[in-house]
A and B are shown apart, each in its own frame.
Chain A
Amino acid sequence: MPESESSSPRATPLQEKHVAAGGRMVDFAGWLLPIQYESMLGEHRHCREATSLFDTSHMGQFLIAGPTAAEELSRALTQNAEILPVGRGKYGFLLNDAGGVIDDTILFRLGRDEFLFVVNAGPADGDADVMRQRLSKAKLTIQGGWGKLDVQGPTSRAALAPLVEADLGALPYFGCCRTRIHGRRGIVARSGYTGELGYEVFLPAEDLPALWDELVKNPDVKPAGLGARDSLRLEMAYPLYGHELSLQINPIEADLGRYVDPFGPYVGAEALRKVAQACLTRKLAALKSSQRRPFRTHDKIVAEGKEIGEISSGAFSPSLEAAVGMGFLPAGFADISTELIVKTARAEIPVTVVEKPFYKNGTCRKKQ
């Protein structure tokens, strides 16, 4: 994860709620956020079974508007804004000329000429600079006074729907709309980072604590920290910026080629065309152990006695009750069923290259 700034971390609008709920606060990308409340494993399992709340107010929210916004965004990002329907979002990347990833992002189209661009906390300031260079007539506004709450889990619709004016049942996967949430004007999107049915709720900072209070009245709803957020995303083999994606990694190597059109008009497309036409030298693979003992970021991956790569993310998977992780491997070693060894400081752990995701029962794509 990105290094935090040197100054003291910023509080989110929900800081007092976290402390009151027993959150163990840590500095994450310059923000004070709960790593866990009572138990990472408990919070992970709760999200797979019921509904969890994740404070994601640290993430950057940019509004981009104007008659030329769609066309200009198509050249700035991998998401093809011109064909993105109003009321839908798309995952994609802000790339540099070399095809390296400046950030992984979601672009939501709120109106014909209005977009919400959601970015990671660490790279957010740099993203804003790059976007301002790439946009000319379209206006970029940082939605600084807002926060975000992710409401995630198989029962999240039942928990959130009574508080939202729009019909959540009619919102498709990656659908979004402006609506009233707990009586306040905000934005709701059916998306998230857990693999479960879930929503991202964007609200002005002052309106978030009351929504939190209302949601936690429901016994099905519990807060979850960054630890559970990380193990949930890892079970889905979702990338984390700074681990599976960086300026030195392009989306095709990261096995996210399905999110980029190499023939698109955006910055970095030319470099991706060259990558797509050549043989990949390395590829991100999903690795699973049959045992519980976890391996972690920077542990070495070994084949035939030689070090061939390192773990980009690794953890104990509460759903599989086994260690899982990802890592970049030379192309010849990344095929499904390849058996490898992960060397930790204390052990050599046999792993197998497996299909993504690790966890296959996620409810995120559940039909209405």
Chain B
Amino acid sequence: MIPENLKYTKEHEWIRVEGDVGVVGITDHAQEALGDVVFVELPSPGKKVAQGEEACSIESSKAASSIYAPAGGTVKDVNEDVTADPSLVNSDPYGKGWIYTLELSDPAELGNLLTPEQYKELL
């Protein structure tokens, strides 16, 4: 499942851009590979991240993994629902399982990301 309206990273994050804000999560492939998500470490709102930098982390029943910033910016909102119920990342990775939003510092960086077609090829 690779929605058409998103951009992707090679590390299996997705970003949905609405104006100068991007919503970030992990892909269906990523949640499937991770297995049951048991803990999401949300970034602190206001945290500045560069493109490709670790923004926060996620723990599954198997292992811990980094969640990288698909683009540079400042963390705006975080999804407290996945703190209470991390399984949302498994059950709805592109919807209720979103992780944080970013105020983009340079929307031109989005050009470095993968299109749905390119991400599909990567898998």
- Closest A-chain residue to B90, C-beta based? A39
In the complex with contacts A293-B41, A316-B38, A345-B64 CB distance below 8 A:
yes
What separation, in Å, do the CA atoms of A292 and B38 have in the docked complex? 7
A316 touches B62 (CB 8 A): no
B40 CB, nearest partner CB in chain A, Å: 9
Q: Is A256 an interface residue (CB 8 A)?
A: no
Q: Using an 8 Å CB-CB cutoff, how does the interface string of B19-42 with A read, 1 for contact, 0 for none?
A: 000000000000000011011010
The interface centre, meaning the residue of A292, A296, A315, A344 with most chain B CB atoms within 10 A of its CB, is A292
A36 touches B38 (CB 8 A): no
**Binding site of A, secondary structure by majority: helix, strand, loop or mixed?**
loop
What separation, in Å, do the CA atoms of A312 and B72 have in the docked complex? 39
Q: Is A41 an interface residue (CB 8 A)?
A: yes
Q: Using an 8 Å CB-CB cutoff, how does the interface string of B86-111 with A read, 1 for contact, 0 for none?
A: 11001000000000000000000000
Q: Is B77 an interface residue (CB 8 A)?
A: no
In the complex with contacts A41-B36, A41-B87, A346-B61 CB distance below 8 A:
no
What separation, in Å, do the CA atoms of A296 and B64 have in the docked complex? 10
Q: Using an 8 Å CB-CB cutoff, how does the interface string of A113-130 with B read, 1 for contact, 0 for none?
A: 000000000000000000
B35 touches A227 (CB 8 A): yes
B45 CB, nearest partner CB in chain A, Å: 19
Q: Is A284 an interface residue (CB 8 A)?
A: no
A293 touches B35 (CB 8 A): no
Total interface residues on B, CB under 8 Å, equals: 14
Give the size category of A's interface with B.
10 to 19
Question: Which of A39, A41, A294 interacts with B59 by CB under 8 Å?
Answer: A294
A157 CB, nearest partner CB in chain B, Å: 28
What separation, in Å, do the CA atoms of A253 and B15 have in the docked complex? 51
What separation, in Å, do the CA atoms of A227 and B38 have in the docked complex? 14
A40 touches B39 (CB 8 A): no
CB neighbours (8 Å) of B39 from chain A are 291-294, 316
Question: Which of B35, B64, B86 interacts with A346 by CB under 8 Å?
Answer: B64
CB neighbours (8 Å) of B62 from chain A are 40, 227
CB neighbours (8 Å) of B57 from chain A are 346
What separation, in Å, do the CA atoms of A315 and B57 have in the docked complex? 16
B50 CB, nearest partner CB in chain A, Å: 19
What separation, in Å, do the CA atoms of A160 and B90 have in the docked complex? 33
Q: Is A161 an interface residue (CB 8 A)?
A: no
Q: Using an 8 Å CB-CB cutoff, how does the interface string of A31-54 with B read, 1 for contact, 0 for none?
A: 000001001111000000000000
Closest 6 CB pairs of A and B: A316-B38, A41-B36, A40-B61, A293-B39, A292-B39, A40-B36
